[in-house]
Amino acid sequence: MKIKENILSIAIALVFVFFIGYGVNVFYNIPRVDDFCDIDYSRNVTTEEQCTALEGKWSYYPKPVESEEGYCDQAYYCREAYDIIRESYLRNVFFITGIIGIITILVSFRIKKDAVSVGIMGGGVLLILYGTLRYWGNLEDWARFIMLGIVLAFLIWVGYKKIEDKKRNK
């Protein structure tokens, strides 16, 4: 019977994260580079002059010997605005999923069925990880360190709280 409860807990945790993650994407659309840059990838751009005319940046392929071969990054100059909006989006998703994750973990203390409570708690933890991983590359090292410390302290507190609740309910 314990195996069924463990499988149920894992399933609840995973589906919860997918549900919230998908919900965030449905109601808060991720910015796309195409929204900021007018790019026609069907154009066959083979020279630096053609690339410059399209307001792109020509880059040469890295090779051990000098080469005239390269490619046109049509989105190079317009990507700056996209990157700013995308960074803001990822930061907001980080806060949204973090807040929902913390609330979910706290709510899991009120649920009396162990398999459901553990699943909801696991979903909250995974949701915090989901938002953190999406924003991780944009964080400074000091912010990563502080954030990990806060999350670690919170999880240790949750562990003690859960153990105390279990002892009281016996």
Alpha-helix runs per DSSP H in 2-140: 2-27, 48-53, 79-108, 114-135
Question: Would you state the pLDDT for residue 95?
Answer: 93
Q: Which residue has the tokens 């109601």?
A: 27
Q: Is the pLDDT of residue 94 over 70?
A: yes
One-letter amino acid at 166 equals: K
Q: Report yes or no on whether pTM surpasses 0.85.
A: no
pLDDT in tens, 28-86: 999 988 888 877 777 788 888 888 888 888 888 776 656 567 888 888 888 888 889 99
- 2-21 per-residue burial string, b: 16 or more CB within 10 A, e: under 16: eeeeeebbeebbeebbeebb
Question: Would you state the pLDDT for residue 129?
Answer: 92
Q: Residue 142 — pLDDT band, cuts 50, 70, 90?
A: very high
Question: Would you state the pLDDT for residue 16?
Answer: 96
Question: Would you state the pLDDT for residue 116?
Answer: 93
Q: What angle do CA 143, 148, 152 make, to 5 degrees?
A: 150
Domain limits of the chain?
2-33+81-169, 38-77
Q: Which residues pair with 60 in a beta bridge?
A: 70
The distance between the two most distant Cα atoms of the chain, rounded to a whole number of Å, is 77
Q: Is the pLDDT of residue 92 over 80?
A: yes
Output the six-digit token pair for 170: 């016996």
Mean pLDDT of 82-91: 92
Cα dist. 113→43, 54, 108, 110 in Å? 59, 61, 10, 9
Q: What is the DSSP letter of 84?
A: H
